[in-house]
């Protein structure tokens, strides 16, 4: 192994070791971090410290649904202690997977061990397969399959398709095609800014203008008045009540002689 000792550690000659056993290079301690300048008493401490500067996190948690990873092994060991007594083991005898959440364990059993379920567990073995040619997707619930099958448009019922570039969607009738074009391809010109917007996005576009307007205060133009308001309606009420002395509620008093 030449000058390399166990586990790839270099063997230093006597002249490279100080009187206290510390590695020396040209009379100076080498246990100094090249990244931050921190100095350590032993090379092992320096090696452990250098891991804090590395972006690599080689120590990963062995629990299947836990994605924690660490730079140092002792940090991983401390993390694993948090899982003790809280893990849900896969009930299949030949499987050693463990999970921190019961729901993840059950999903694991359904996805990977459905064939291993007891024969009395009918619900576990039941599967619903899409009969559409070229599809064959499998679902665990009939309602999920029904919703999926509705997404398939039968080729023999296709009467219209969209000619817009990059679209080419097909529909069962002209009414569905027309609704699609109006929603996805018809443009409306905004009277506020003049830009063209898709009809399906137009309401959202208008809300942006409304948000900007709400931030702009409406000033009172009456001479000497510095009041501002959030909208025109509040300004008009202010003008009537303050400047024109028109009270919103007139109260009449009957004077008895």
Give the pLDDT band (50/70/90) at residue 159. low
Per-residue confidence (pLDDT) for residue 152, from 0 to 100: 63
Per-residue confidence (pLDDT) for residue 236, from 0 to 100: 84
Going from N- to C-terminal start, the domains of the chain cover: 6-53, 59-116, 217-248
Give the pLDDT band (50/70/90) at residue 15. very low
The second-level CATH assignment, the architecture, of 59-116 is 2-Layer Sandwich (3.30)
Question: Which residue bears the tokens 């100095």?
Answer: 39
Q: Do 130 and 136 form a contact (C-beta atoms < 8 A)? A: yes
Q: At what angle do helices 199-215 and 174-184 cross, to 10 degrees?
A: 30
**Dihedral pair phi/psi, residue 229, rounded to 5°:** -140, 160
Per-residue pLDDT tens over the stretch 78-135: 777 777 767 778 887 778 787 777 777 777 777 777 654 554 444 454 567 777 655 6
Q: Flag whether pLDDT at 250 surpasses 60.
A: no
Q: What's the CA gap between 91 and 183, in Å, rounded?
A: 51
Q: Flag whether pLDDT at 60 surpasses 80.
A: yes
**Per DSSP, what are the bridge partners of residue 69?**
60
As a whole number, the mean pLDDT across the chain is 69
**Per DSSP, what are the bridge partners of residue 253?**
none
């Amino acid at each position: 192994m030449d000058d390399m000792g166990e586990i790839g550690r270099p063997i230093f000659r006597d002249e490279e070791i100080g009187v206290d056993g510390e590695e020396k290079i040209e009379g100076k301690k080498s246990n100094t971090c090249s990244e931050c300048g921190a100095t350590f008493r032993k090379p092992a401490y320096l090696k452990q410290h250098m891991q804090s500067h590395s972006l690599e996190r080689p120590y990963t948690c062995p629990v299947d649904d836990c994605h924690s990873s660490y730079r140092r092994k002792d940090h991983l060991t401390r993390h694993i202690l948090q899982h003790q007594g809280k893990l849900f083991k896969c009930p299949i005898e030949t499987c050693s997977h463990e999970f921190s959440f019961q729901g993840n364990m059950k999903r694991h059993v359904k996805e990977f061990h459905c064939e291993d379920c007891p024969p009395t567990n009918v619900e576990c073995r039941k599967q619903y397969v899409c009969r559409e040619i070229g599809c064959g997707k499998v679902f665990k619930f009939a309602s999920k399959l029904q919703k999926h099958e509705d997404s398939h448009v039968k080729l023999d019922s296709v009467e219209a398709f969209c000619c817009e570039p990059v679209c080419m969607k097909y529909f069962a009738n002209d009414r569905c095609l027309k609704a699609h074009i109006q929603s996805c391809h018809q443009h409306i010109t905004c009277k506020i800014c003049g830009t063209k917007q898709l009809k399906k996005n137009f309401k959202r576009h208008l809300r942006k203008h409304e948000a900007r307007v709400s931030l702009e205060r409406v000033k009172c133009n009456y001479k000497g008045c510095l009041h501002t308001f959030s909208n025109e309606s509040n300004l008009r009420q202010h003008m009537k009540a303050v400047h024109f002395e028109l009270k919103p509620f007139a109260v009449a008093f009957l004077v008895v002689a």
